[in-house]
Amino acid sequence: MDAVPGFVRGHHRTLGRAALAMFGCGLLLFVLAVAYFIPHDAYVASVLNDRGLRVRAGVTECVSVGRNDDGSTSANSHCRVRFEASDGRTVEARLAYVTSDIEKGQTVIVVYDPRNTGLVALASSVGFWSTLGRSALDVFALAASAVMLLAGIAALVWYLRVRARMRRA
């Protein structure tokens, strides 16, 4: 009996590339989750829930974060708002989270950090359920990245074994 099945013999390079791609994507997602998503979301929620002040703000700009599969612009946007801080200064800052709920010219309620007026989010983005939902997505991204890393490693080990058998055959 053949040591390496015929279908593997013809597709082993494709399998190796797929394993490397899965490993790379898993590693990237893991690094992003651990180094950016989780710390950023936890910091913003913690600061704004702890000492944030609510004010009315005008939306001055919204820029789409990307394109959909059909070529249209994404509904999610990075938006900037202008508001008057508690010390009387007029502040313009970018919202901490992307949103699809607002557009330029609207008046919205935001929460900002009086110690760092550049840290601003929609009031609806820092409530308990929004924070819980964002945290759940962060944990899901971390878990998905761990699964992708393990699957990528397993596939790479399998690929290397098959390649070694093919060289011996």
In a domain, 2, yes or no: no
In a domain, 126, yes or no: yes
Q: What is the mean pLDDT of residues 134-158?
A: 82
In a domain, 4, yes or no: no
More confident call, 97 vs 82: 82
Question: pLDDT value at position 10?
Answer: 54
Helix/strand/coil for 83: strand
- Could you tell me which residues are beta bridge partners of residue 77? 64, 99
Q: Inform me whether the pLDDT recorded for 54 exceeds 50.
A: yes
Question: pLDDT value at position 1?
Answer: 44
Give the angle subtended at the CA of 67 by the CAs of 37 and 108, to the nearest 5°. 65
Helix axes 6-32, 128-168, angle to 10 degrees: 150
More confident call, 55 vs 25: 55
Q: Inform me whether the pLDDT recorded for 139 exceeds 70.
A: yes
Q: What is the mean pLDDT of the chain?
A: 81
3-state secondary structure 28-81: HHHHHHHHHHHHHHHHHHHHHHHHCEEEEEEEEEEEECCECCCCCECCCEEEEE
In a domain, 7, yes or no: no
Question: pLDDT value at position 86?
Answer: 93
Domain that holds residue 142: 12-168
Instruction: Work out the percent of the chain whose per-residue pLDDT is above 90.
Output: 31
In a domain, 153, yes or no: yes
Separation CA 3–CA 16 (nearest Å): 18
In a domain, 3, yes or no: no
Question: pLDDT value at position 38?
Answer: 77
- Kindly report each contact of residues 5-10 with a partner whose C-beta sits within 8 Å and lies 24 or more positions away, as own/partner: 8/162, 9/166
Q: Inform me whether the pLDDT recorded for 74 exceeds 70.
A: no
* Domain count for the chain: 1
Separation CA 165–CA 105 (nearest Å): 66
Kindly indicate the confidence band of residue 111, based on its pLDDT and cuts at 50, 70 and 90.
very high
Question: pLDDT value at position 128?
Answer: 59
In a domain, 18, yes or no: yes
More confident call, 106 vs 8: 106
Tell me the CB-side half-sphere exposure of residue 160, using CA atoms within 13 A: 7
In a domain, 6, yes or no: no
